[in-house]
């Protein structure tokens, strides 16, 4: 079950990388690298920072095969990818929930402070996109119009709250994962975003 979510999430992330690389008119090598970094970058950064090396994707060929296959297919059907938007958005959202929990768990295994664990979770879920944007020479989207990060952070805090309540482990995962997914779905549905720190300046303009 976890495994299927992981693969579907990886596919969604890889496709989002392919789309941006095509948009930047990269060649075949660039496209595959961007797809790869988008899909694995968050976990790779986490592994580097905690010293879990060789990094995860080097020890599990499934990711490599899935990403390469996804990239090739995505390039061929690129004009029809619009039809995949809704399922991709769903897989992507569920994937983010899962990756956050994976990152948190890695931090717990190392005995790190809960806030650091939540940072690792958020990093796992969100920083593949940050690395992708750096390689594509643009300011990371997530720093300007935040989409996932707050959901991951709130989900992470719920995780440790539920843990204090000594709930059963699987239940903690399920609930905090669902919180991340629901917050993101609601945020996108109702166009909720972080409070605007530039509000006062805009008011002045008026």
Which residues make up the interface to a second copy (CB under 8 A)? Answer: 21-22, 24-31, 33-34, 44, 48-51, 53-55, 58-59, 61, 64, 75, 110, 112-113, 115-116, 130, 134-140, 142-146, 149-150, 193-198
Nearer to a second copy, 65 or 169 (CB): 65
Nearer to a second copy, 62 or 169 (CB): 62
Name the residue among 19, 100, 99 with its Cα closest to residue 63: 99
In whole angstroms, how close is the CB of 96 to a second copy at the nearest point? 14
In whole angstroms, how close is the CB of 137 to a second copy at the nearest point? 5
Contact 159, 69 (CB under 8 A): no
Please give the structure tokens belonging to residue 141: 């989207």
In whole angstroms, how close is the CB of 89 to a second copy at the nearest point? 20
Contact 178, 158 (CB under 8 A): no
CA distances to 32, 74, 190, 192, 206 from 67, in Å: 8, 10, 32, 31, 49
In whole angstroms, how close is the CB of 86 to a second copy at the nearest point? 25
In whole angstroms, how close is the CB of 185 to a second copy at the nearest point? 18
Nearer to a second copy, 44 or 101 (CB): 44
Cα 22 to the center of its chain, rounded Å = 20
Q: How far apart, in whole angstroms, are the C-alpha atoms of residue 27 and residue 50?
A: 33
Contact 125, 154 (CB under 8 A): no
Nearer to a second copy, 135 or 162 (CB): 135
Nearer to a second copy, 25 or 189 (CB): 25
Helices then strands, each counted (H, E), the chain: 9, 0
User: How many residues would you count in the chain?
Assistant: 206
């Amino acid at each position: 079950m976890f495994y299927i979510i992981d693969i579907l999430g990886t596919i969604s992330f890889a496709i989002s990388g392919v789309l941006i690389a095509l948009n930047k008119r990269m060649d075949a090598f660039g496209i595959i690298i961007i797809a790869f970094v988008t899909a694995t970058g968050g976990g790779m950064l986490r592994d580097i920072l905690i010293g879990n090396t060789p990094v995860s994707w080097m020890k599990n060929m499934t990711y490599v095969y899935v990403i390469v296959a996804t990239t090739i297919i995505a390039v061929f059907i690129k004009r029809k990818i619009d039809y995949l938007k809704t399922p991709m958005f769903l897989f992507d959202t569920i994937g983010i929930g899962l990756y956050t929990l994976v990152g948190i768990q890695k931090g717990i295994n190392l005995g790190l402070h809960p806030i650091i664990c939540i940072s690792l979770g958020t990093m796992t879920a969100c920083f593949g996109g940050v690395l992708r944007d750096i390689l594509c020479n643009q300011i990371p989207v997530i720093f300007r119009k935040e989409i996932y990060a707050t959901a991951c952070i709130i989900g992470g805090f719920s995780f440790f709250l539920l843990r204090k309540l000594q709930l059963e482990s699987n239940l903690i995962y399920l609930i905090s994962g669902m919180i991340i997914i629901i917050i993101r779905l609601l945020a996108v549905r109702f166009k909720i975003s972080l409070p605007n720190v530039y509000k006062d300046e805009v008011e002045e303009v008026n």
